[in-house]
């Protein structure tokens, strides 16, 4: 881990919650910038390129969903954690669809949240926005590709038919993991642990549903659907695996 502190941005209109989140992040080694509204929060993210951004959903002015959408529109690769009091699954789905990497429901346990943030911090922070980071042990993996899809761990880029696709950190991790393990089925629980970079993480039903949402978003960006998959096959009741064609030198160009 770098000796210099990474930056985190906390966006929340509740002073008490914002202070608590800032303290949790400082205890995890971050330099923290606070904002009490979405507009100032977006400006802080784009100015300071934080490794992590926590974002309250229910804020006056623009809410957390719109704030997350604008952050991603600015090509920020920050790891977005939505903090919400909403328990409806549809709200989590919406959060992931606008670019969130994780959703935490209030009330949350400070120790558990700190552990999740530290796991996110262990990922390599990328200089360019919109792509995910991966554990250092995988950073020298060779380029992988077939059927028009090309993934490069070293440059953290993904293209389909030569066109770049913009992915969140979590989306890239999931895609690379599924594609690199080829026909091996990756269970939803396994992919939850990949997404959070915590090998022994206890996985809930909500965590597995979050993976389903990430895969849905990923498929949309790849230009495929579950009914007509081109790259990712659903193994019903289990998880996902890659659809592969014979690998040729031309497919890696």
Domains of the chain as residue ranges with CATH: 7-121 (3.40.50.2300), 136-252 (1.10.10.10)
CA gap 161, 149 in Å, rounded:
6
Q: What is the DSSP string of 94-151?
A: HHHHTT-SEEEESS--HHHHHHHHHHHHTSPPPSSTT-----GGGTTPPPEEETTEEE
- pTM above the 0.85 mark? no
* pLDDT tens, position by position, 60-89: 899 999 999 999 988 888 999 998 887 666
Structural tokens at position 31: 């330099």
Whole-number pLDDT of residue 113? 83
pLDDT, residue 252, reads 41
Residues of the chain with pLDDT under 70: 1-4, 87-89, 122-145, 245-253
What is residue 70's predicted lDDT score, i.e. its pLDDT?
95
Looking at residue 96, its pLDDT comes to 85
């Amino acid at each position: 881990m770098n000796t210099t502190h990474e930056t985190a941005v906390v966006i929340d209109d509740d002073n008490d919650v914002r202070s608590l989140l800032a303290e949790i992040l400082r205890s995890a080694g971050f330099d923290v910038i606070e904002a009490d509204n979405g507009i100032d929060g977006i400006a802080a993210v784009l100015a300071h390129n934080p490794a992590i951004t926590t974002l309250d959903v229910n804020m006056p002015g623009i809410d957390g969903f719109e704030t997350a959408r604008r952050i991603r529109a600015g090509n920020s690769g920050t790891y977005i954690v939505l903090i919400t009091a909403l328990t409806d699954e549809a709200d989590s789905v919406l959060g992931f669809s606008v670019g969130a990497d994780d959703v935490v429901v209030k009330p949350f346990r400070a120790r558990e949240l700190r552990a999740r943030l530290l796991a996110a911090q262990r990922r390599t922070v990328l200089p360019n926005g919109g792509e995910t980071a991966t554990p250092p042990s995988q950073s020298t993996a060779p380029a992988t590709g077939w059927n028009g899809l090309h993934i490069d761990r070293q440059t953290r880029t993904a293209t389909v038919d030569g066109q770049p696709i913009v992915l969140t950190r979590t989306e890239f991790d999931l895609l690379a993991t599924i594609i690199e393990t080829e026909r091996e089925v990756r269970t939803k629980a396994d992919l939850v642990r990949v997404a959070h970079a915590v090998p022994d993480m206890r996985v809930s039903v909500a965590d597995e549903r979050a993976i389903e949402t990430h895969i849905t978003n990923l498929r949309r960006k790849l230009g495929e659907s579950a009914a007509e998959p081109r790259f990712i096959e659903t193994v019903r009741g289990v998880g996902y695996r890659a659809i592969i064609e014979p690998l040729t030198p031309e497919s890696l160009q």
